[in-house]
């Protein structure tokens, strides 16, 4: 009888390799995975110590000087602002005073001009009256008005002559220094129904061109005249101008 004695099967090569790999992983875990020991971890901080800058001016701290400096600047700013406001107020008052003086001067000038104008206006009637005393205009009755007169009866034409000679005389101007002594001019005119002088003819010259033209100009300036009566519409009326 054959008897086999064995102490067990020998491990195979594959199992040995796997076991070796597992063992290595366990050992690596012990080395690389930290264990929580309950102790705090501390970080290292590096601090450089620098000597503080020396303080000038009695050795006062910089923080204190920084606090006091703005206060001084603020006080100076308020003072400067007050001075600026005071100067501006003074300049404003000076400008207002100057404007008031100019305005008062303008008003005084206007018042004086108004007085001069009023004086000139008041002097006009006096000058006009003096001129009327030295100048005369007479309407020479035409044939129609002469035929209408009966026994010295005053006709409407007479009143009309007086009216238009006064209107023309108001427009007749001769310089005071002009020597018109002995001069006389006769001018015939025709008036339409609206009082407009439609024609004027020099019938008799005075021999002085200026005197004659002044009379013709007076007629032109006075036109249109007052409305004439029907008997004198477009009838010839002769006016005699004399000093």
Q: Tell me the three-class secondary structure of the chain, residue by residue.
A: CCCCCCCCCCCCHHHHHHHHHHHHHHHHHHHHCCCCCCCCCCCCCCCCCCCCCCCCCCCCCHHHHHHHHHHHHHHHHHHHHHHHHHHHHHHHHHHHHHHHHHHHHHHHHHHHHHHHHHHHHHHHHHHHHHHHHHCEEEEECCHHHHHHCCCCCCCHHHHHHHHHHHHHHCCCCCCCCCCCCCCCEEEEEEECCCCCEEEEEEEECCCCHHHHHHHHHHHHHHCCCCCCCHHHCCCEEEEEEEC
HSE-CB for 26 with a 13 A CA cutoff: 6
> Is 106 within a domain?
yes
pLDDT digits (tens, 9 = 90+) for 51-105: 665 555 555 555 555 555 555 566 778 888 888 888 888 888 889 888 888 888 8
Residue 8 located in a structural domain = no
Average pLDDT of 127-147? 60
Q: Tell me: do 145 and 183 sit in the same domain.
A: yes
For 55, phi then psi, to 5°, come to: -95, 125
Mean pLDDT to the nearest integer, 118-124: 60
Are 155 and 218 found together in one domain? Answer: yes
**175 and 110 fall within a common domain:** no
Q: Please identify, among 90, 108, 134, the residue that sits at the C-terminal boundary of a domain.
A: 134
Q: What is the CATH number of the domain that holds 236?
A: 3.30.1150.10
pLDDT value, residue 220: 96
Higher pLDDT, 39 or 107: 107
Question: Do 145 and 190 belong together in one domain?
Answer: yes
Top-confidence residue, 46 or 111: 111
Domain end marker among 104, 134, 164: 134
Rounded Cα gap, residues 33 and 20, in angstroms? 20
Inside any domain, residue 216? yes
Q: Is residue 104 domain-shared with residue 174, that is, in the same domain?
A: no
Considering the domain architecture, whether residues 90 and 180 belong to the same structural domain is answered as no
**pLDDT at residue 191 above 70?**
yes
Q: 240, 130, 133: which is closest to 183 by C-alpha?
A: 240
**221-231: average pLDDT:** 94
Residue bearing tokens 């002559």: 161
pLDDT digits (tens, 9 = 90+) for 40-65: 555 555 666 666 655 555 555 555 55
One domain for residues 121 and 196 = no
Provide the residue range defining the domain that includes 121.
72-134
If asked whether residues 160 and 97 sit together in one domain, one would say no
Q: Same domain for 153 and 88?
A: no
Query: Residue 38 domain-assigned?
Result: no
Residue 47 counted as domain residue: no
Q: Are residues 130 and 141 in the same domain?
A: no
Average pLDDT over every residue of 125-146: 60
pLDDT at 213: 95
What count of Cα atoms within 13 Å lies in the side-chain half-sphere of residue 57? Answer: 5
Is residue 139 scored above 70 in pLDDT? yes
Same domain, 107 and 164: no
Q: Which of 134, 163, 182 is the last residue of a domain?
A: 134
Q: What percent of the chain has a predicted confidence (pLDDT) above 70?
A: 62
33 within domain boundaries: no
User: What is the predicted pLDDT for the residue at 111?
Assistant: 74
Highest mean predicted confidence (pLDDT) among 124-138, 150-164, 202-216: 202-216
Domain count, the chain: 2
Asked whether residue 35 is assigned to any structural domain, the reply reads no
Global pTM value? 0.43
Residues 209 and 233 occupy one common structural domain:
yes
| 21 within a domain of the structure (yes/no) | no
pLDDT interval class at 25 (50, 70, 90): confident
The confidence score (pLDDT) of residue 215 equals 95
């Amino acid at each position: 009888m054959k008897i086999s004695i064995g102490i067990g099967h020998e491990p195979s090569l594959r199992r040995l390799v796997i076991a070796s790999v597992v063992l290595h992983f366990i050992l690596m875990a012990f080395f690389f995975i930290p264990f929580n020991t309950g102790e705090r971890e501390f970080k290292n901080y590096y601090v450089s110590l620098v000597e503080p800058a020396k303080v000038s001016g009695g050795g006062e701290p910089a923080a204190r000087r920084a606090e006091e400096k703005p206060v001084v600047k603020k006080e100076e700013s308020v003072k400067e602002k007050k001075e600026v406001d005071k100067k501006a107020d003074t300049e404003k008052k000076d400008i207002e005073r100057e404007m008031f003086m100019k305005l008062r001067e303008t008003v005084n000038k206007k018042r004086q001009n108004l007085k001069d104008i009023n004086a000139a206006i008041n002097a006009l009637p006096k000058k006009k009256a003096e001129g009327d005393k030295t100048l005369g205009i007479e309407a020479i009755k035409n044939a129609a008005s002469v035929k209408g007169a009966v026994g010295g009866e005053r006709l409407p034409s007479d009143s009309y002559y007086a009216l238009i000679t006064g209107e023309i005389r108001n427009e007749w101007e001769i310089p005071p220094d002009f020597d018109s002594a002995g001069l006389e001019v006769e001018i015939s005119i025709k008036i339409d129904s609206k009082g407009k002088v439609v024609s004027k003819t020099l019938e008799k010259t005075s021999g002085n061109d200026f005197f004659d033209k002044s009379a013709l100009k007076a007629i032109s300036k006075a036109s249109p005249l007052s409305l004439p009566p029907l008997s004198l519409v477009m009838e010839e009326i002769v006016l005699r101008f004399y000093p």
